[in-house]
Amino acid sequence: MYTIRDAMLDDLPVIVAIYNTTIAGRMVTADTEKISVESRIPWFHEHSPATRPLWVVENNGVICAWLSFQSFYGRPAYRHTAEISIYLHPDFRGKKLGSYLLEKAIEACPGLDISTLLGFIFAHNLPSIKLFNRFGFEQWAYLPNVAVLDEIERDLVILGKRVS
């Protein structure tokens, strides 16, 4: 049984810990070294439960995942567009939690005044691309060789979906 709730500042160490588990795999994030909780405090405060929530997911009272809606490009004309990010604790990957979260995020968009969702995903991250495709996201952009991870150039795909 999963419970989704708005993140609190006290949740930030767990949010960062889950994020840091993805860095070594070079599939999910462009960060190459672990990040600190302190470095994420401004990012945390960019979120708002009313328009750009940061959700945590609990399983039996333990945070096992998080989801972030972030403003796209920071200009007023893009206020109805948000980038979505989903991060799962390693013990909860491959258990349909990503699907559950993406479904809940799409359902929440009308109440958040979001009409377009974007996902920024490395082209070699096929599991994430397939997940987003299952929910109707399409490739809207392909940016070749824009990231370098361990001296390997990586492509970025931007997937998009109109949700209202």
Mean pLDDT, range 41-49, rounded to an integer: 97
Q: Say which residues have a Cβ less than 8 Å from residue 83's Cβ, sequence separation at least 6.
A: 69, 70, 71, 72, 117, 118, 119, 120
Average pLDDT over the chain, rounded to whole? 96
Residue pair 120/127 in contact (Cβ under 8 Å)? The answer is no
* Domains of the chain, start order: 2-119 (3.40.630.30)
Identity of the amino acid at 1: M
| pLDDT at 124 > cutoff 90 | yes
Q: Is residue 1 predicted with pLDDT exceeding 90? A: no
Contacts of 28 (CB under 8 A, 6+ apart): 22, 87, 122, 125, 128
pLDDT for residue 7 is more than 90:
yes
pTM of the model: 0.95
How far does the chain reach from its first CA to its final CA, in angstroms?
Answer: 29
**Whole-angstrom distance, CA of residue 62 vs CA of residue 151:** 37
The answer to whether 147 and 110 have CB atoms below 8 angstroms apart is no
Give pLDDT tens digits for 76-120: 999 999 999 999 999 999 999 999 999 999 999 999 999 999 999
Measured over the CA atoms of residue 56, residue 11, residue 112 and residue 141, the dihedral's sign is: negative
pLDDT of residue 164: 82
Tokens of 148: 């370098």
**Average pLDDT, stretch 29-53?**
96
**pLDDT surpasses 90 at 70:** yes
Are the C-beta atoms of 61 and 10 separated by less than 8 Å? no
* Averaged pLDDT for residues 5-17: 98
What was the pLDDT predicted at 74? 87
Q: 27 pLDDT exceeds 90?
A: no
Phi then psi for residue 161, to 5 deg, are -150, 130
* Over residues 40-55, mean pLDDT: 98
pLDDT of residue 154: 96
